[in-house]
């Protein structure tokens, strides 16, 4: 009896040690297989409720030139040659006033009536009229006001054309010439851009900021732009060679890695988060050195919010899975290439030799191949056979990983471990009691 209890106790001790070893080496079910999780998490889906709230917009990646810009700040001014002053030729007083400040007038419209101080019954009077179309920008009289010859009564400005005056730093002046275009974003108009053309340079630098006033002519047919408005000037000096570009609003990420969301299924609003390497930028677009082809559709509005959308329902999207696995390999290439290094390389290479810029883009696409586990090894191995096989492997592995991640799987191990310890204590106590007898 004693020997039997001893053998049982030893067997339970061995079982306990085995369970400890298994527990130390098990996955614990904390997370699904990393390769599978990474591949599926790149696909997100937008439901109808979220579609409007995130203001989702799309744009095509296209082959186009990135522009080289000079940036400056400035403000809007009236053009002196399109501004007129109304004044009286005689002394007198205002008996009639037909306008008020900030009203529109046409050439020949009455401004005011002046009654002379000369004797007469009635005294002689004159009618002052608008010399040009425009806005009554200032009015210095009221009814009954005395007036003197050659004193400004009113100022009328034609604001259908205006000056946009940019304060350009001295180091950038040599890059500019008459006729260059500029895009102007005024603080008063959020998101709206106005076009202008460089027409003249100032005569001297400012005393404080080492800047030169540079004058652009801007059309204002709706009279919505007002004198004194401030804004940012993007002066286009020249353009680079055409490359694949996307809107700046499409790019998300940090300094090290940049991403875009590529539309994979327009009907179901499924988007793929894809890593890219960027090059030059201007005020509107970003050059894509690697990661996107011309013609692909990207999210240009709501891209940031897409990061928080739920994973896509891939049921019935076998082709989508195969495509996503291929783009995972491309994303792996982008991961291996430092974005900052690629950006610096493109900048310096462009300065030294424009041809090197194209070579660097070629090198990115021809970089040595290496496998990136987008889903898992089985999926990559079977991807060459058929899309159905890929989908089957994904679902099988997904079920297995869900089992591993289940809380009950972890609790089972703990329960067995506790039971074995309890039995060990019971048999040890029995063994000691029998030994005493």
How confident is residue 24, by pLDDT bands cut at 50, 70 and 90?
A: very low
Query: Looking at residue 316, what is its pLDDT?
Result: 60
Percent with pLDDT over 70 in the chain? 68
DSSP states along 241-285: EEEEEEEGGG-EE-SS-EEEEEEEETTTTEEEEEEEEEEEE-SSE
Comparing 367 with 12, the larger pLDDT belongs to 12
What value does the mean pLDDT take over residues 155-183? Answer: 96
Sheet strands (E) in 98-229: 104-105, 110-116, 125-129, 134-139, 146-147, 152-157, 161-169, 181-186, 194-201, 211-219
Question: What kind of architecture, by CATH, is found in domain 86-154?
Answer: Beta Barrel (2.40)
How big is the CA angle at 300 (ends 297 and 302), to the nearest 5 degrees?
A: 120
Q: Is the pLDDT of residue 358 over 80?
A: no
List residues bridging with 299 in a β-sheet. 58
Contact 106, 147 (CB under 8 A): no
User: How far apart are the C-alpha atoms of 243 and 119, rounded to whole Å?
Assistant: 80
Query: Looking at residue 2, what is its pLDDT?
Result: 47
User: How far apart are the C-alpha atoms of 194 and 13, rounded to whole Å?
Assistant: 82
Q: What are the residues whose beta carbons fall under 8 Å from the beta carbon of 429, sequence distance 6 or more?
A: none
How confident is residue 369, by pLDDT bands cut at 50, 70 and 90?
A: very low
Is the Cα torsion angle 410, 412, 417, 418 positive or negative in sign? positive
User: How far apart are the C-alpha atoms of 431 and 172, rounded to whole Å?
Assistant: 94
**Upper half-sphere CA count for residue 276 (Cβ side, 13 Å):** 26
For the chain, domain boundaries: 2-29+406-436, 70-78+160-239, 86-154
Q: Is the pLDDT of residue 414 over 60?
A: yes
Instruction: Give pLDDT tens digits for 71-84.
Output: 999 999 999 999 99
CATH number given to 70-78+160-239: 2.40.30.170
How confident is residue 234, by pLDDT bands cut at 50, 70 and 90?
A: very high
Contact 202, 53 (CB under 8 A): no
Long-range CB contact pairs, 333-337, < 8 A, 24+: 333/290, 333/364, 333/367, 334/257, 334/275, 334/276, 334/277, 334/290, 334/291, 335/257, 335/275, 335/372, 336/367, 336/370, 337/277, 337/290, 337/364, 337/367
How confident is residue 169, by pLDDT bands cut at 50, 70 and 90?
A: very high
Q: pTM of the full predicted structure?
A: 0.62
How confident is residue 150, by pLDDT bands cut at 50, 70 and 90?
A: confident
């Amino acid at each position: 009896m004693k020997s039997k209890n001893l053998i049982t106790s030893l067997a339970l001790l061995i079982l306990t040690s085995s369970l400890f070893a298994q527990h130390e080496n098990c996955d614990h079910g904390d997370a699904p297989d990393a390769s599978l999780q990474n591949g599926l998490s790149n696909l997100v889906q937008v439901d109808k409720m979220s579609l409007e709230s995130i203001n989702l917009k799309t744009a095509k990646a296209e082959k186009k030139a990135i522009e080289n810009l000079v940036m400056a700040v400035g403000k809007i001014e009236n053009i002196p040659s399109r501004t007129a002053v109304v004044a009286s030729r005689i002394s007198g007083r205002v008996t009639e006033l037909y306008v008020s400040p900030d009203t529109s007038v046409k050439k020949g419209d009455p401004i005011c009536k002046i009654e002379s101080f000369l004797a007469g019954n009635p005294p002689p009077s004159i009618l002052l009229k608008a010399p040009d179309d425009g806005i009554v920008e200032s009015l210095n009289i009221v009814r009954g006001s005395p007036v003197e010859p050659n004193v400004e009564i009113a100022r009328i400005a034609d604001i259908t054309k205006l000056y946009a005056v940019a304060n350009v730093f001295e180091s950038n002046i040599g890059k500019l010439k008459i006729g260059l275009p500029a895009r102007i974003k005024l603080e008063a108009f959020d998101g709206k851009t106005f076009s202008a053309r460089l027409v003249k340079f100032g005569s001297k630098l400012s005393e404080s900021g080492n800047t030169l006033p540079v004058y652009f002519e801007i059309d204002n047919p709706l009279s919505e732009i007002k004198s004194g408005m401030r804004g940012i000037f993007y002066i286009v000096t020249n353009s680079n060679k055409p490359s694949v570009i996307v809107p700046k609003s499409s790019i998300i990420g940090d300094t090290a890695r940049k991403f875009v969301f590529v539309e994979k299924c327009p009907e179901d609003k499924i988007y793929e988060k894809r890593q890219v390497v960027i090059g030059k930028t201007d005020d509107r677009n970003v050059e894509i050195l690697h990661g996107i082809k011309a013609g692909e559709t990207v999210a240009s509005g709501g891209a940031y919010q897409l990061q928080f959308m739920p994973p896509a329902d891939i049921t019935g999207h076998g082709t989508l899975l195969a495509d996503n696995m291929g783009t995972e390999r491309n994303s792996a290439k982008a991961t291996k290439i430092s974005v900052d290094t690629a950006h610096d390389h493109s900048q310096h290479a462009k300065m030294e030799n424009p041809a090197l810029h194209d070579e660097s883009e070629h090198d990115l696409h021809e970089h040595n191949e290496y496998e990136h586990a987008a889903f898992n090894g089985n999926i990559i191995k079977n991807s060459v056979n058929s899309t159905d096989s890929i989908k089957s492997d994904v679902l099988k592995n997904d079920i297995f990983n869900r089992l591993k991640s289940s809380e009950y799987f972890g609790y089972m191990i703990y329960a067995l471990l506790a039971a074995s310890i309890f039995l060990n204590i019971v048999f040890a106590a029995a063994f000691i009691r029998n030994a005493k007898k």
